[in-house]
Chain A
Amino acid sequence: MIPAAFEYHRPTDIPGVLSLLAQHGDDARVMAGGHSLIPMMKLRMAEVPHLIDLQDVGGLDEIRVEGDSVQIGAMVTQADIIDHGALAQAVPILREASLQIADPQVRYMGTVGGNVANGDPGNDMPGLMQCLDATFRVVGPTGERAIPARTFYEAAYMTAREDDEVLIGVTIPRPAGGHAYEKQKRKIGDYATAAAAVQIVKDGGTCAQAAIAMTNLSDTPIYSETAGAALVGTGVDDGALAAAVAAMLADIDPSDDNRGPVAFKNHVAGVILRRAITRAWARA
Chain B
Amino acid sequence: MAKKMHITLTVNGKEEEFLAEPRELLIYTLRERLNYTGAHIGCETSHCGACTVTIDGKSVKACTMFVAQADGADITTIEGIGGPDNLHPLQTAFKEHHGLQCGYCTPGMITRAAKLLEENPNPTEEEIRFGMAGNICRCTGYQNIVKSIQAAAVEMNAPKEAAE
Asked whether, in the complex, the Cβ of A104 is within 8 Å of the Cβ of B131, the reply is yes
Asked whether, in the complex, the Cβ of A188 is within 8 Å of the Cβ of B64, the reply is no
Closest to A188 in B: B133
Closest to B59 in A: A105
B residues in contact with A249, CB < 8 Å: none
Q: Pick the contact of A5 from B1, B47, B65, B69 — CB < 8 Å? A: B1
**Does any Cβ of A come within 8 Å of B68's Cβ?**
yes
Chain A CB count within 10 A is highest, among B52, B130, B132, B133, for B133
**Does any Cβ of A come within 8 Å of B92's Cβ?**
no
With A1-B44, A105-B52, A105-B134 known as contacts, the answer to whether A6 contacts B61 (CB < 8 A) is no
Asked whether, in the complex, the Cβ of A189 is within 8 Å of the Cβ of B69, the reply is no
Taking residues whose C-beta sits less than 8 angstroms from the other chain, chain B's interface range is: 20 to 34
With A3-B23, A189-B134 known as contacts, the answer to whether A8 contacts B68 (CB < 8 A) is yes
Q: Could you tell me the distance between the alpha carbons of A189 and B45 in the complex, rounded to whole angstroms?
A: 11
Q: Using a CB-CB cutoff of 8 Å, which residues 1-52 of chain A contact chain B? A: 1-8, 10, 34-35, 38-39, 41-42, 51
Asked whether, in the complex, the Cβ of A39 is within 8 Å of the Cβ of B64, the reply is yes
**Does any Cβ of A come within 8 Å of B60's Cβ?**
yes
B95-128 vs A, CB cutoff 8 Å, 1 = contact: the mask equals 0000000000000000010001000000000000
Asked whether, in the complex, the Cβ of A34 is within 8 Å of the Cβ of B22, the reply is no
Q: Pick the contact of B112 from A10, A51, A105 — CB < 8 Å? A: A105
Asked whether, in the complex, the Cβ of B60 is within 8 Å of the Cβ of A105, the reply is yes
With A5-B2, A5-B23, A103-B49 known as contacts, the answer to whether A108 contacts B68 (CB < 8 A) is no
Q: Could you tell me the distance between the alpha carbons of A141 and B60 in the complex, rounded to whole angstroms?
A: 34
**Does any Cβ of B come within 8 Å of A243's Cβ?**
no
Q: Using a CB-CB cutoff of 8 Å, which residues 32-50 of chain B contact chain A? A: 44-47, 49
Asked whether, in the complex, the Cβ of A103 is within 8 Å of the Cβ of B21, the reply is no
**Does any Cβ of B come within 8 Å of A55's Cβ?**
yes
Closest to B57 in A: A108
**Does any Cβ of B come within 8 Å of A147's Cβ?**
no
Query: What is the minimal beta-carbon distance from A105 to any residue of chain B, in angstroms?
Result: 4
Asked whether, in the complex, the Cβ of A38 is within 8 Å of the Cβ of B65, the reply is yes
Q: Pick the contact of B45 from A4, A34, A39, A103 — CB < 8 Å? A: A39
Q: Could you tell me the distance between the alpha carbons of A41 and B3 in the complex, rounded to whole angstroms?
A: 18
B residues in contact with A41, CB < 8 Å: 23
Q: Could you tell me the distance between the alpha carbons of A8 and B49 in the complex, rounded to whole angstroms?
A: 26
B residues in contact with A104, CB < 8 Å: 59, 112, 116, 130-134
Q: Pick the contact of B61 from A2, A3, A106, A188 — CB < 8 Å? A: A106
Q: Could you tell me the distance between the alpha carbons of A108 and B65 in the complex, rounded to whole angstroms?
A: 12
Asked whether, in the complex, the Cβ of A108 is within 8 Å of the Cβ of B69, the reply is no
**Does any Cβ of B come within 8 Å of A160's Cβ?**
no
Asked whether, in the complex, the Cβ of B66 is within 8 Å of the Cβ of A34, the reply is yes
B residues in contact with A106, CB < 8 Å: 46, 61, 134
B residues in contact with A10, CB < 8 Å: 68, 71
With A1-B25, A1-B44, A38-B66 known as contacts, the answer to whether A108 contacts B2 (CB < 8 A) is no
Contacts A1-B25, A5-B2, A8-B22 given; 4 further ones with Cβ under 8 A? A8-B5, A55-B69, A105-B112, A109-B65
